[in-house]
Amino acid sequence: MSFTHAGRTLRKVAVIGSGQIGPDIALYFTKVLSPFGVHTVVVDVSDQALANGKAKLEKKVQKGVESGAFTAEQQAQMLGAVAWTSDYQQLAGADLVVEAATENKELKAKIFAQVEGLVGPDAILCSNSSHLEPEVIFGHAKLPGRTAVVHYFFPAERNLMVEVVPGKHTAPATTQWLLSFYEAIGKVPIRVASRYGYALDPVFEGLFFACALLAEQGIGTTKQIDVVGKKTFKMGVGSFTAMNLTGGNPITAVGLDNYTTKINAWFRTPQSLKDKVAKKEPWDVPARGEVVEVPPALEAQIRDALLGAYFGICGEIVDAGLVSIADFNMGLDIALDMKPAFTFMNELGTAKALALVQAYAAKNPGFPVPKCLAALGKDNRPFEVPVVLREDRSGIAVLTIRRPKVLNALDQSVFEELRTRFQECDRDPTVRGIVLTGFGKKAFVSGADVNFLAKIDSVAMGERTSRASQVCVDAIQAVQKPTVAALNGLAFGGGIETAMACEVRIAQKGLRVLAGQPEANLGIIPGAGGTVRLPRLVGIERAAEMLRTCRPISSEKALAYGLIREEVDGDLVGRAVQLAQQLATGAAPRSRMAEGPLPNVPASLPAVDIGHLSKKVDEILCKAILGAAKLPLRDAVPFEAKCFGEVCGTEDMRIGVDNFVKNGPKAKAQFVHR
């Protein structure tokens, strides 16, 4: 058995190093690859390290069983697919190798010299370095085209982010395969250019350095600075606590000194960190539940200094051309679990952000004011931080919705961005067709972001909210070029509503859960065209059952219903691009939605069992379905918005949305049918 992706087959993967992060990398590999029969081998020269790593992995899997994340069968499968050995000969036959040994260039070079003699010429060799440039690690590689850095983040089995860092001699095909492979197995990869520390560690370590400087200067205690940093950046823990948890003092001490020459003269290892490393002491941080008092004036002083440092560090990385703003912003959010810098600067205003950086630079010699921020800040213009990404392939624009932390859920800003992207592509003479898909393998779009629904406080606001989304979805349907929605995973609520505005939909084959309209679970009805387009695609009775019961359908059933044109076994986006080309040339039939009323609209809908759902909401939903069916498309969509507004005036809407926000999607709301 094996796992095949983009023309490359994996039968065995290897992790070298059973220290702090190697077992976690192995755990993720066996979780996602053991179902395909892929074996993972962990190699380390220390038997004690192997024993510790094996115990660590087994403990985490057992916790997964206890929490319900894994079944006992999955546990057995995962553990049975991992081998632990000090025998480097066991690397023979590995198709992918990830080295996670100590951050030492001589050691890494020695390891890969040995590995190259054991694996085949087609194997890909990666280093999970946190700082070293790939040119340094793989400088003596015989086949450098197959090498790259893949930087994981703590904890590697749960933190989705990986930085893929190609070296000067890395083959473009290697880089592209790694990016698509990690996306395919559920990680969130970003491409970062080669520089010491890459893109994200200089932020983690640089912000820690800024905190250490404040403490050394007597501007707050480490506890106070930790508390203010956590609050300012909406982090799970402050910088000093994070350093304790990751055991990062020694490697950060080395990294900061190297940044002095590799990045700029502001960076250096502070004396307080040198002392902690020498004494092997942790930082003094707040205990669990401890309340740390910070006077307002001191809090403001610490906050402004940390913001100036944060914005300046991030801006310099963009100036250096290491990473795109969209990738970097997402990386800060996922890898470092902090409020992304460019979103933050836009909210504050780039003029204020620039002033904070300039004030910090004035007090800290060698600290640069980023050119990208200076250019925008002088006129207070925002950074462009797209979440709908465009890639052109042979005349077809591929648009990808990328919001992995919320499974690509839509809010109004994403609806607006979709509208803009589709209209840009429709005007672009080089574009013959458009493909819309979602990032990752779990979801095309998981639905609408419920947080913006919770803000609706009146019938009028409900109608306005619905219309704002509808206008954007209508703009997609108005595009005259062929449009294909490639449903890579579940498409719920606003996701399937957006897909239905595309001319054609195709889906990954074998999805047990593909499409659904779960709005009634929240005490609302669809508000972006679901009651209008779904009946026109699958028929009124089938649509009404889906809408009223909230039961999703599989990709197989979606094909039988006519909701999708094809199930695709393999490269979904590649097939979508091909289909868009065929539609553009006439090689495949066009299928634009008819714009008139539906024929033979019944006077009422068949009875269905709606279970615990609101009878009042169901009444309005039925009115929306039947009323929209009798109207031409241009009138049916605004009619749905009026019905959406009406439902926002019910008690059950507030009950449903509040229940979802407080208790999550699995908890049933206690509707009162009013």
- The string of pLDDT tens digits covering residues 298-346 is 999 999 999 999 999 999 999 999 999 999 999 999 999 999 999 999 9
Amino acid 546 reads M
Dist CA 336 CA 201 (whole Å): 9
Which tokens belong to 164?
A: 């893929």
Residues 6 or more apart whose CB falls under 8 angstroms from that of 600 comprise: none
| Mean pLDDT of all residues in 104-111 | 95
For 584-626, write each residue's pLDDT tens digit: 999 999 999 999 999 999 999 999 999 999 999 999 999 999 9
| Mean pLDDT of all residues in 223-244 | 96
For residues 220 and 302, the answer to whether their CB atoms sit within 8 Å is: yes
How is domain 201-377 classified at the architecture level of CATH? Orthogonal Bundle (1.10)
Dist CA 326 CA 417 (whole Å): 14
Q: Is 563 in a helix, a strand, or coil? A: coil
Domains 3-191 and 201-377 are alike in CATH topology: no
Sign of CA dihedral 84, 88, 89, 93: positive
Q: Is 182 in a helix, a strand, or coil? A: helix
At 618 the pLDDT is: 97
For 391-435, write each residue's pLDDT tens digit: 999 999 999 999 999 999 999 999 999 999 999 999 999 999 999
Alpha helix segments (H runs only) across 68-124: 72-80, 105-116
| Mean pLDDT of all residues in 125-145 | 97
Q: What residue has token string 């049918």?
A: 673
* Residue 247 confidence class, pLDDT cut points 50, 70, 90: confident
Q: Domain coordinates of the chain in residue numbers?
A: 3-191, 201-377, 388-663
Which tokens belong to 424?
A: 């840009």
**Which secondary structure element, helix H or strand E, spans residue 15, and what is its range?**
strand 12-16
At 303 the pLDDT is: 98
Q: Is 284 in a helix, a strand, or coil? A: coil
Dist CA 397 CA 391 (whole Å): 6
Strands (E), 363-516: 388-393, 396-401, 433-438, 443-445, 483-487, 490-492, 504-508, 515-516
* Residue 34 confidence class, pLDDT cut points 50, 70, 90: very high
Residue 455 has pLDDT above 90, yes or no: no
Q: Name the β-bridge partners of 189.
A: 162
| Mean pLDDT of all residues in 6-13 | 96
| Mean pLDDT of all residues in 3-15 | 96
| pTM for this model (two decimals) | 0.93
Residue 452 has pLDDT above 80, yes or no: no
CATH class, range 388-663: alpha beta
Dist CA 376 CA 384 (whole Å): 10
At 453 the pLDDT is: 80
Per-chain mean pLDDT for the chain: 96
* Residue 451 confidence class, pLDDT cut points 50, 70, 90: confident
In Å, how far from its chain's centre is CA 117?
37
Dist CA 169 CA 149 (whole Å): 12
Q: Name the β-bridge partners of 127.
A: 99, 149
* Residue 631 confidence class, pLDDT cut points 50, 70, 90: very high
154 phi/psi in degrees, rounded to 5: -70, 135
For residues 373 and 324, the answer to whether their CB atoms sit within 8 Å is: no
For residues 543 and 534, the answer to whether their CB atoms sit within 8 Å is: yes
CATH superfamily of 3-191: NAD(P)-binding Rossmann-like Domain (3.40.50.720)
Return the closest-CA partner of residue 520 out of 606, 629, 625, 427: 625
**Class of residue 308 by CB neighbours under 10 A (exposed 0-12, middle 13-18, buried 19+):** buried
**Which secondary structure element, helix H or strand E, spans residue 57, and what is its range?**
helix 47-67
Amino acid 443 reads A
Residues 6 or more apart whose CB falls under 8 angstroms from that of 555 comprise: 487, 507, 508, 509, 510, 511, 514, 564, 567
Which tokens belong to 118?
A: 């054991």
For residues 218 and 256, the answer to whether their CB atoms sit within 8 Å is: no
Which tokens belong to 670?
A: 């206690």
Q: Which of 24-38, 164-178, 451-465 has the lowest mean pLDDT?
A: 451-465
| Mean pLDDT of all residues in 201-208 | 97
Report the percent of the chain where pLDDT is more than 90.
Answer: 96
Amino acid 283 reads W
The dihedral formed by the CA atoms of 17, 18, 20 and 25, expressed in degrees to the nearest 10: 80
For residues 170 and 38, the answer to whether their CB atoms sit within 8 Å is: no
For residues 16 and 101, the answer to whether their CB atoms sit within 8 Å is: yes
| Mean pLDDT of all residues in 171-181 | 98
For 500-537, write each residue's pLDDT tens digit: 999 999 999 999 999 999 999 999 999 999 999 999 99
Residue 18 has pLDDT above 80, yes or no: yes
* Residue 436 confidence class, pLDDT cut points 50, 70, 90: very high
Contacts 24+ apart (CB under 8 A), 102-105: 102/17, 102/19, 103/129, 103/130, 103/131, 103/132, 103/251, 103/254, 105/132, 105/136, 105/137
Dist CA 348 CA 178 (whole Å): 36
Dist CA 625 CA 542 (whole Å): 12
Q: What residue has token string 């919705």?
A: 401
Q: What residue has token string 């020498």?
A: 278
Strands (E), 451-520: 483-487, 490-492, 504-508, 515-516
At 198 the pLDDT is: 98
Residue 285 has pLDDT above 90, yes or no: yes
Return the closest-CA partner of residue 674 out of 598, 617, 604, 597: 617
At 607 the pLDDT is: 93
At 634 the pLDDT is: 96
At 253 the pLDDT is: 95
Nearest-5° Cα angle at 320, 132 to 249: 40
